[in-house]
Amino acid sequence: MKNLVFKRETGWKILSRDELERFSRGYMDFIGKCKTERQVVSFVEDVLRRNGFSSIEEYDGSVPAKIYMKFRAKAIIAVKLSESLIRGINLVAAHIDSPRIDLKPHPIFEDEGIALAKTHYYGGVKKYQWFNIPLSIVGVVVKEDGSVVDINIGEKEEDPVFVISDLLPHLDRKDAKVSEKFQAEKMNLILGSMPLDDEEKEAVKLNILKILNDLYGIKEEDLVSADLALVPSFPPREVGLDRSFIAAYGHDDRVCAYTSMMALIDSKDGKNMGIILFDKEEIGSDGNTGAKSRFYLMFFRKILKKQGYEDVEYYLDEVLEKSYVISADVNAAVNPSYKDVHDLNNAARAGYGIVLTKYTGARGKAGASEARAELVAKVRSALNSRGILWQVGTLGKVDVGGGGTVAKFLAEKGAEVIDMGPGLIGMHSPYELVSKVDLYESYRAYKALLEEL
């Protein structure tokens, strides 16, 4: 009778510790290097090319083939084709943006002898978590002549770091809401305090601008055409006396980007399969690099055209109708200190495997993508046949939680879509936790579903 009960078991009793550690080391190298979308795209493109992938411009229409296309330096798609694309394709779609702090277009000012930079937060953050931690400035500045300057200050051990400083408790005795105490317009980044010699007005700001000019050849106006993010400077670390967790910035959702990339690289040929790594999910998937954009559809049109199909719009609809998509995004693992926000019967646990999320949305499933029961059954069968650990999870209690992913935007195009990813503790914080078990099982699950759906 026990086989009638749906029971899950921790992966630490089942999986090989050596395999977990090997995979975790590769991931920690990736997540430590890739703190912005541009860095992820560059990393992924390098891995793809080293594994025999060619750009769409190099593709001649033949199969088998390994093809990729990056878009605006902030999104990338890659596929392995074993037959004509018209047969459909199995996809894993993740996003590579993470909550962060951005510099405003005209950021630098001086006040009370300190040079500061104005900021704007990106995505859903608890603002107080970004005060008093070491931050790096990472991104690009594009000059008026079109030349691109890479900026990366704070990631090397010898680099200075930056801080958004909070008010000391001795002067902060007023009882107030967190939203009142930690206001976005007070999240000013400290840049320095040394004045430029022989200058009387804004001498500290001028010194900062001089340093930037000396280092990068840029001036203040160049910052208007820049993508500069503030990201935590600390590296990924193992957590706990047993080293069972990995702490890092950006697990949401780069943990799914890495595991899906490795799943595609390692998958055996036989079916059409691929990955899409989107930008802008944390702010609604808008823009020309988000899941609402057309770049991945353009990629499929180009393949169809090169494969000899004239009416690509007609056949593109057919491709999407025959396709399966894993919307690879994280879920919330139960934090024992805050378990009251979960329906524990439908909540993910750290170390129990990849989380299958049948539906997303909030307030009566508004804005949801919901997988059909037939697809859920196919996924269960594929995972169970390979002994892959999985569990179900929803994002909190019905009237408490909720959220969205890229799933609904791909479902709107006609594909069969389901959400799956590892559970995190401390999601959207500057230092999230993922279990090594859930990291590895996500890789195994994506590989299985690319090969079997």
- pLDDT for 246-267, tens place per residue? 999 999 999 999 999 999 999 9
pLDDT band at 402 (very low <50, low <70, confident <90, very high): confident
In a domain, 211, yes or no: yes
The answer to whether the CB of 355 falls within 8 A of the CB of 446 is no
pLDDT at 444 > cutoff 90: yes
The answer to whether the CB of 249 falls within 8 A of the CB of 35 is yes
- Mean pLDDT of the 411-440 span: 97
pLDDT band at 172 (very low <50, low <70, confident <90, very high): confident
Same domain, 33 and 120: no
Q: Which pLDDT score is estimated for 368? A: 85
Q: Which pLDDT score is estimated for 245? A: 98
Provide DSSP, 229-293: EEEE-PPPEEETTTT-EEEETTHHHHHHHHHHHHHHHHPPSSS-EEEEEES-GGGTS-STTSTTS
Q: Domain span at residue 420?
A: 2-98+249-452
Mean pLDDT for all residues in the chain: 95
Q: Which pLDDT score is estimated for 68? A: 98
pLDDT at 87 > cutoff 80: yes
The structure tokens 């902030």 sit at 74
Domain boundary among 232, 259, 280: 232
In a domain, 239, yes or no: no
Same domain, 200 and 336: no
| pTM (two decimals) | 0.96
Same domain, 395 and 425: yes
- Mean pLDDT of the 282-295 span: 95
- Mean pLDDT of the 270-290 span: 96
Query: What is the enclosing helix (H) or strand (E) of 90?
Result: strand 90-95
The Cα 378–Cα 159 span in angstroms is 50
Q: Which pLDDT score is estimated for 90? A: 98
CATH code assigned at 43: 3.40.630.10
> Could you give the 3-state DSSP secondary structure of residue 432?
strand
Same domain, 143 and 272: no
Cβ atoms within 10 A of the Cβ of 287, count?
Answer: 17
Same domain, 299 and 443: yes
Q: Which pLDDT score is estimated for 142? A: 98
pLDDT at 5 > cutoff 80: yes
Same domain, 54 and 163: no
- Mean pLDDT of the 394-423 span: 93
Same domain, 157 and 213: yes
Q: Which of 89-93, 166-170, 260-264 has the lowest mean pLDDT?
A: 166-170
Nearest C-alpha neighbor of 151 from the set 84, 226, 220, 203: 226
In a domain, 261, yes or no: yes
Q: Which pLDDT score is estimated for 92? A: 98
Same domain, 92 and 193: no
Same domain, 140 and 59: no
The Cα 145–Cα 257 span in angstroms is 33
In a domain, 218, yes or no: yes
347: left (phi over 0), alpha (psi -120 to 50) or beta: beta
Q: Which pLDDT score is estimated for 358? A: 94
pLDDT at 268 > cutoff 90: yes
pLDDT at 1 > cutoff 80: no
The Cα 377–Cα 385 span in angstroms is 12
Nearest C-alpha neighbor of 357 from the set 375, 339, 340, 381: 375
In a domain, 131, yes or no: yes
Of residues 174 and 79, more confidently modeled: 79
pLDDT at 2 > cutoff 80: no
The count of domains in the chain is 2
In a domain, 426, yes or no: yes
* Percent with pLDDT over 70 in the chain: 100
pLDDT band at 244 (very low <50, low <70, confident <90, very high): very high
In a domain, 243, yes or no: no
Q: Which pLDDT score is estimated for 363? A: 84
Domain boundary among 179, 206, 232: 232
- pLDDT for 35-63, tens place per residue? 999 999 999 999 999 999 999 999 999 99
Q: Which pLDDT score is estimated for 72? A: 96
Same domain, 373 and 255: yes
Assigned token pair, 417:
């879509």
Burial per residue of 210-249, b for 16 or more beta-carbon CB atoms within 10 angstroms, e otherwise: eebeeeeebeeebbeebbbbbbbbbebeebeeeebbbbbb
Provide DSSP, 344-380: GGG-B-TTS-EEEESB-BBTTTBT--B--HHHHHHHH
Q: Which of 9-13, 273-277, 365-369 has the lowest mean pLDDT?
A: 365-369
- pLDDT for 350-388, tens place per residue? 999 999 999 998 888 888 889 999 999 999 999 999 999
Q: Which pLDDT score is estimated for 255? A: 98
pLDDT band at 178 (very low <50, low <70, confident <90, very high): confident
Q: Which pLDDT score is estimated for 7? A: 86
The Cα 141–Cα 150 span in angstroms is 7
In a domain, 143, yes or no: yes
CATH code assigned at 183: 2.30.250.10
Same domain, 40 and 177: no
The answer to whether the CB of 74 falls within 8 A of the CB of 89 is no
Q: Which pLDDT score is estimated for 181? A: 84
Same domain, 393 and 309: yes
The Cα 246–Cα 23 span in angstroms is 12
pLDDT band at 237 (very low <50, low <70, confident <90, very high): very high
Domain boundary among 232, 266, 290: 232
**What is the Cα Rg of the chain in Å?**
23
